[in-house]
């Protein structure tokens, strides 16, 4: 998946979608020992400290808190065993929210990949102005997701929202004041999916573009010689070659979309009830609205395990880290 050319110091293989710890030349011929460990600490120590202190330690705190009874003011009243987990799973909206979370991840990631494949085909062809189009595609990637979502939220407002006005003008909505998309949990959730796909497209498209650039020209040439049409070439030659790029893009999208908070927070946050929530927004409702850090921790642990299971299954089945 090398996209860098001669000018870049990256080795071609270094960009092939997976770390290459073995690729680094060894420091010396002898076996590394304790002295080397001590010598390494000034270099890797600070990074290690940051990872342990701000990622792994809070993870431990979260696991611990998920078995505690913590009052709204933050006082720890001792262990409650698995009561917090019982509260999570017996919450009547939990299973609908669980299913909605899966729908959220699957629909957003699938739509993102399909659309990105098309976008990458367009952006991979030569035409005047392509560079400007490519730069435009970056914008939702760099721009704050909160801000992108807010402009859509405003556009969907009844009476004065510009998207509603457009839908009325072209006749898709027949009430003159527009439709209250963001007042209804189902439509607000559907629009959230649209926004989530939109902000996921740039990264996915660019990853596929990088994959396309690694397909050797003679392979396509050979397909053409053999009389394969464009469709046959695409499904038979291009798609299999994109496997590596696609599997990395899908994995990263799964993690990002599952953990996504701002879109649903803005689009559905002011709707009462739990009919547009995912696990991630429910965690924040526990923390912010109900001040139940203990139950939020239990739910976070559940979310954490779900991510790990999804990633593990995915890595096992698709093997994105494997050389293609």
Partner 1 sequence: MAVTAPAFETIAPPAASARKRRYTEDQVPIGRVLLRMLAGFIVLAVFILPYTIMFFGSVKTKSQIRSVDPTYLPTEWHWENYITMWSTPETPLPQNLISTIVISVFATVLVLGVAMPAAYYTARFRFPGRYVFLFLVIVTQMLQPAVLTSGLFRQFVSLGLIDTWAAMIFINAAFNLSFAVWIMHSFFAGVPKEIDEAAQIDGAGRLTVLFRIQLPLVWPGIVTAIVFTFVACWNEFAASLVILSTAGNQPLSVALTKFVGQYETSWHYVFGISIVAIIPVVVLFMIIEKRLVGGLTAGSVK
Site string for partner 1, 264-283 (x = CB under 8 A): -xx--xx---------x--x
- Do residues 167 and 173 make contact, with C-beta atoms less than 8 angstroms apart? yes
Q: How far is the CB of 20 from partner 1 (least distance, A)?
A: 7
Which residues 198-227 are close enough to bind partner 1 by CB under 8 A? 198, 203, 206-207, 209-210, 212-213, 215-217, 220-221, 224
Which one among 103, 143, 172, 222 touches partner 1, defined by CB under 8 A?
143
Burial class (CB in 10 A: 0-12, 13-18, 19+), 74: exposed
Quick one: which segment of 91-99, 100-108, 184-192, 250-258 binds partner 1 (CB under 8 A)?
250-258
| Distance of closest approach, residue 48 Cβ to partner 1, in angstroms | 7
Is 40 a binder of partner 1 (CB under 8 A)? Answer: yes
Is the CB of residue 107 less than 8 Å from the CB of residue 175?
no
In the set 103, 106, 114, 136, which binds partner 1 (CB under 8 A)? 136
Q: Which of 120, 140, 145 is nearest to 249 (CA)?
A: 120
For residue 67, state whether it binds partner 1 (rule: CB under 8 A): no
Among 78, 125, 227, 231, binds partner 1 (CB under 8 A): 125
Please enumerate in sequence order all residues whose Cβ is within 8 A of that of 229, keeping only pairs 6 or more positions apart, or say none: none
The least distance separating partner 1 from the CB of residue 81, rounded to whole angstroms, comes to 18
Segment 79 to 118, residues that bind partner 1, using CB under 8 A: none
Q: Does 236 bind partner 1 (CB under 8 A)?
A: no
Please provide the size of the chain in residues.
324
Among positions 155-184, residues that touch partner 1 (CB under 8 A) are 155, 159-162, 165-166, 177
């Amino acid at each position: 998946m090398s996209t860098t050319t001669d000018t870049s110091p990256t080795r071609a293989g270094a960009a092939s979608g997976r770390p290459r710890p073995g690729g680094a030349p060894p420091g010396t011929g002898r076996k590394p020992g304790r002295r080397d460990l001590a010598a390494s600490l000034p270099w890797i120590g600070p990074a290690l400290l940051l990872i342990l202190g701000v990622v792994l330690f809070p993870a431990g705190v979260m696991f611990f808190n998920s078995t505690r009874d913590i009052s709204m003011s933050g006082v720890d009243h001792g262990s409650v065993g698995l009561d917090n987990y019982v509260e999570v799973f017996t919450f009547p909206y939990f299973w609908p929210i669980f299913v909605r979370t899966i729908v959220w991840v699957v629909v957003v990631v699938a739509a993102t990949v399909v659309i990105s494949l098309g976008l990458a085909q367009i952006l991979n062809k030569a035409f005047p102005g392509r560079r400007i189009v490519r730069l435009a595609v970056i914008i939702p990637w760099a721009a704050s997701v909160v801000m992108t979502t807010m402009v859509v939220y405003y556009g969907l407002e009844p009476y004065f929202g510009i998207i509603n006005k457009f839908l009325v003008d072209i006749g898709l909505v027949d009430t003159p004041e527009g439709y209250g998309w963001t007042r209804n949990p189902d439509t607000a959730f559907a629009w959230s999916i649209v926004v989530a796909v939109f902000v996921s497209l740039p990264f996915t498209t660019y990853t596929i573009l990088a994959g396309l650039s690694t397909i050797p020209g003679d392979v396509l040439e050979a397909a053409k010689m053999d009389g394969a049409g464009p469709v046959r070439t695409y499904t038979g030659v291009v798609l299999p070659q994109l496997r590596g790029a696609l599997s990395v893009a899908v994995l990263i999208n799964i993690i990002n979309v599952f953990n996504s908070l701002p879109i649903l927070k803005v689009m559905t946050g002011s709707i009462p009830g739990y009919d547009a929530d995912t696990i991630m927004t429910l965690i924040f409702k526990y923390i912010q609205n109900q001040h139940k850090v203990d139950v939020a921790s239990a739910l976070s642990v559940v979310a954490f395990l779900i991510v790990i299971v999804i990633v593990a299954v995915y890595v096992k089945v698709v093997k994105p880290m494997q050389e293609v």
